Amino acid sequence: MPRKNSSEMMRRDPNAIKTTDGDNSRALLFTLAVSRLPKIDTRDPIAVENRVMDYYQLCAEQDMKPSVPGLALALGVSRSTIRAWLDGRGAGKVDGVQNALEMAYTVLTAQMEQYMLEGKINPIAGIFLMRNNLGYSNDDTPLEVADTGLNDGKSAEEIAKEYENLPD
């Protein structure tokens, strides 16, 4: 049975997704295309590496930003599964699979930093994505300042007093 086009579906179903030609429909069609990639053997490091490269190539051809969820979709797994593989669990125990994913993450990280540096993504969104998908975190540990010996062991108040009597 032939598939109905989106205009026919919208006429029949008033609750159907309605988009105009533009960024939203382009992003949705891209994601749907990624979701329909043929299944691969995720325990085969060559198949994983090829799929990663296919995904990045598709992103480049369609002018879409790669993402961790997009990569997971291309591999036919969840984000948490990819995280487990990166941690050496599941298919990540197979020689080469973990390496292929580490390289994929390195590319994603480099791209995200480049997008932020070039103003191609909101920095807050970039920080959120890097913290939640790429393992970045904020370190709240205060910096320790080394004593250089330049203050001769004097307190800030003692040093300030010395400077009070300097001529203008």
Write out the DSSP string of 16-51. S----TTHHHHHHHHHHHHHTSPP--TT-HHHHHHH
The verdict on residue 157 lying in a domain is no
pLDDT of 10 strictly over 50: no
DSSP 8-state assignment for residue 3: P
Determine the Cα–Cα distance for residues 105 and 139; give it in Å rounded to an integer: 21
* Domain limits for position 125: 37-140
Domain count for the chain: 1
Query: Confidence band (pLDDT; 50, 70, 90) for 9?
Result: very low
The verdict on residue 28 lying in a domain is no
| 10 vs 95, residue with greater confidence | 95
The verdict on residue 32 lying in a domain is no
> Exposed e or buried b for every residue in 62-82, given b needs 16+ CB within 10 A?
eebebbbebbbbbbebeeebb
Determine the Cα–Cα distance for residues 52 and 104; give it in Å rounded to an integer: 7
DSSP 8-state assignment for residue 138: -
The verdict on residue 153 lying in a domain is no
The verdict on residue 87 lying in a domain is yes
The verdict on residue 71 lying in a domain is yes
Q: What is the pLDDT of residues 120-135, one digit of tens each?
A: 888 888 888 888 878 7
The verdict on residue 43 lying in a domain is yes
The verdict on residue 149 lying in a domain is no
Q: What is the pLDDT of residues 81-113, one digit of tens each?
A: 998 998 888 888 888 999 999 999 999 999 988
pTM exceeds 0.75 for this model: no
